[in-house]
Amino acid sequence: GAVVSQHPSRVICKSGTSVKIECRSLDFQATTMFWYRQFPKQSLMLMATSNEGSKATYEQGVEKDKFLINHASLTLSTLTVTSAHPEDSSFYICSARVTGGVGDTQYFGPGTRLTVL
């Protein structure tokens, strides 16, 4: 399957700082990437859809000014958590859509565990 990478895998930061997470499709081009968040023992929650060359589409209840998404190229999307607070501590996972064939498929990156002190 397609390979998606994320960086960093783990980050610890102080409250009030900003954190940038990168999501890359390594062996394919992805016009669409997705950002999810997962709290312990809970299901995946879609935060936003990232489209190359256009503004991201945010899910209801997700603050676009707090979670900045930039999809500047066909292989890279970034999520910046601005002014992070302890309640933003979570597992952030990106996925990239592969299209073609019978249908499209999403492949996930390995995730970034964010801890805000």
Subset of 46-105 contacting another protein (CB under 8 A):
46, 49, 91, 93, 99, 102-105
By CB under 8 A, residue 111 contacts another protein: yes
The three-state secondary structure class of 10 is strand
Q: Which stretch in 18-26, 38-46, 65-73, 80-88 sits in contact with another protein by CB under 8 A? A: 38-46
By CB under 8 A, residue 110 contacts another protein: yes
Q: Strand runs (DSSP E) across the chain, as ranges?
A: 4-7, 10-13, 19-25, 32-38, 45-51, 57-58, 67-73, 76-81, 90-98, 105-108, 112-116
By CB under 8 A, residue 109 contacts another protein: yes
By CB under 8 A, residue 108 contacts another protein: yes
